[in-house]
Amino acid sequence: MKKAIYPGSFDPVTNGHVDMIVRSASIVDELVVGVLNNSAKNPLFSVEERVSMLEEITKDIPNVTVASFDGLLVDYMEQIGASLIIRGLRAVTDFEYELQIAQTNHRVSPAVETIFLTTNLKYSYLSSTIVKEVAAYGGDISHFVPEQFIERIYRKYNIVK
Ligand code: PNS
């Protein structure tokens, strides 16, 4: 029984994240989408809002659950009995940072392994930061995020479309 976590900030969830969740769920028995409770980063969406959006978008995938965590990822994994971390690699620019955290996590908790999935080419340019940048100026984000979240994102910038 392989229980994995797909951790991230998801501020907000993008189509790239959704693609990763669907693909990860098809290769592990149980997938927890772990939302970092990073209030210090001053997120656009509260952790409750991010969890709720992810629950909405994953509700039809039976082996996926969504939860928030704070503190060290490996400590949270021990609490929930997960041994695998899934992360996406978009481009070579992601590699150094991802390698560093994967090796740190493995060093701190040797039972923990990280698996990288290359992101779908369609979304290889996409990030939550890009979504926020475009949305803040009222640009079209319809190709970047699930349709049901578009309005919620604009509303954060007091933009009514
Ligand atoms: O979506 P992000 O912001 O790239 O996700 C980063 C995340 C949440 C995976 C990473 O910051 C994390 O695991 N934070 C929790 C603290 C921790 O365990 N850090 C790893 C050791 S350096």
Is pLDDT at 39 greater than 80 in this prediction? no
> What confidence score (pLDDT) does residue 38 get?
82
The whole-angstrom separation of Cα 99 and Cα 121 is 21
Counting ligand 1 atoms within 8 A of each CB, the residue from 74, 86, 98, 101 with the most, and so the one to mutate, is 101
What average pLDDT does range 70-98 have in this prediction?
96
Which residues, other chains included, contact 135 with Cβ-Cβ below 8 Å and sequence gap of 6+? 141, 153, 154, 156, 157, 159
Is pLDDT at 93 greater than 90 in this prediction? no
Q: Could you tell me the CA-to-CA distances from 129 to 29, 61, 119, 156 in Å, in that order?
A: 31, 26, 16, 14
For residue range 60-81, list pLDDT tens digits in order. Answer: 999 999 999 999 999 999 999 9
Is pLDDT at 113 greater than 80 in this prediction? yes
Which residues, judged by CB distance below 6 Å to any ligand atom, belong to the binding site of ligand 1?
7-9, 36, 72-73, 101, 104-105
Amino acid occupying residue 93? T
Is pLDDT at 157 greater than 90 in this prediction? yes
CA of 161 to the centre of ligand 1 (A): 33
What's the whole-number average pLDDT of the chain?
96
What average pLDDT does range 7-32 have in this prediction?
98
User: b/e per residue, 74-85, with b = 16+ CB within 10 A?
Assistant: bebbeeeebebb
> What confidence score (pLDDT) does residue 1 get?
85
Answer yes or no: are the C-beta atoms of 64 and 13 closer than 8 Å.
Answer: no
pLDDT tier, 106 (very low <50, low <70, confident <90, very high otherwise): very high
Burial status of residue 71 (CB atoms within 10 A of its CB: 0-12, 13-18, 19 or more)? exposed
| Structure token pair of residue 56 | 């909405």
Query: In terms of Cα–Cα distance, which of 47, 42, 41 is closest to 13?
Result: 47
What count of other Cβ atoms lies within 10 Å of the Cβ of residue 95? Answer: 12
- Exactly one of 2, 41, 107, 155 is catalytic; which is it? 41
The whole-angstrom separation of Cα 31 and Cα 75 is 17
Indicate the pTM of the whole model: 0.97
Is pLDDT at 116 greater than 90 in this prediction? yes
> What confidence score (pLDDT) does residue 103 get?
98
**DSSP letters along 16-73, please?**
HHHHHHHHHHTTSSEEEEEEE--GGG--SS-HHHHHHHHHHHHTT-TTEEEEEE-S-H
Is pLDDT at 16 greater than 90 in this prediction? yes
